Amino acid sequence: MRTLKLVAVSAGLSSPSSTRLLADRLLQATRYKLAEQEYAVDVEVVELRDLAVDIANNFVTGFPSERLQDTIDRVTGADGVIAVTPVFTASYSGLFKSFFDLIDPAALTRTPVLLGATGGTARHSLVLDHALRPLFAYLRALVSPTAVYAASEDWGSGGDEYTEGLPARITRAGEEFAALVAAGSGRAEEDEEIVPFEKQLADLRLD
């Protein structure tokens, strides 16, 4: 069986970062579930902080540095992508959005994606559904049903009578996402095609 490749993209800025921590936990939960089904899994975490200048330069010049291109290739070539951002000013962070702005809009089509976000208070948790989910819907990614929001207080508390605690939400998200990744593991690479000139002319009905 082919080794499955999971890439987590973390837009956390501090070190250590709770965004990175959530990305790691989601990655771990997914990997654990896939390993149970005897899939070989290869994981990687991309810290966008390390690419911040490359990302800005790409906006200025119109092309990515070699390092940024390599990262984009690894993300778009992954069998599953875990995308985690801190909440800034009522949405994903600018750095997070900027990275995905640089990816070809078709490059994540049908790629399973697990969403996560972190913030100081649980009041921002709908960012997952009101900001992140539409972004990945636009990219035609297969967004996993459960996305995980971690507020500061979640790292130090269990659940309550209405909500499961963070570990349970992470486990559930990992299980659902692992199923999507496993189901898509036969995804074939699409080749770039040349449209012969006769066809281009014929489309215009010219001789």
Partner 1 sequence: MQFGIFTVGDVTTDPTTGRTPSEHERIKNTVAIALKAEEVGLDVFATGEHHNPPFVPSSPTTLLGHIAARTENLILSTSTTLITTNDPVKIAEDYATLQHLADGRVDLMMGRGNTGPVYPWFGQDIRQGIPLAIEHYALLHKLWREDVVDWEGKFRSALQGFTSTPRPLDGVPPFVWHGSIRSPEIAEQAAYYGDGFFANHIFWPKQHTEKMVRLYRQRYAHYGHGTEEQAIVGLGGQVFMRKNSQDAVREFRPYFDNAPVYGHGPSLEEFSSQTPLTVGSPQEVIERTLSFRDYVGDYQRQLFLVDHAGLPLKTVLEQLDILGEEVVPVLRKEFENLRPAGVPATAPLHPAVTATKEA
- Cβ distance to partner 1 smaller for residue 161 or 198: 198
- Cβ distance to partner 1 smaller for residue 40 or 56: 56
| Selected range binding partner 1 among 1-9, 11-19, 52-60, 109-117, rule: CB under 8 A | 52-60
Rounded CA-CA distance 171/162 in Å is 17
191 in contact with partner 1 (CB under 8 A): no
Give the DSSP per-residue string, 60-108: HHSS--HHHHHHHHHHHT-SEEEEEEEEETTEE-HHHHHHHHTS-TTTT
What is the sign, positive or negative, of the torsion defined by CA atoms of 111, 147, 58, 52?
A: negative
- Cβ distance to partner 1 smaller for residue 162 or 197: 197
> Shortest gap between Cβ of 96 and partner 1 (angstroms)?
20
112: nearest Cα among 55, 176, 165, 177: 177
190 in contact with partner 1 (CB under 8 A): no
Strand, coil or helix: 21 = helix
Residue from 1, 60, 160, 189 touching partner 1 (CB under 8 A): that is 60
Report how many residues bind partner 1 under the rule CB under 8 A: 20
Binding site for partner 1 (CB under 8 A): 56-57, 59-63, 65-66, 192, 194-197, 200-201, 203-206
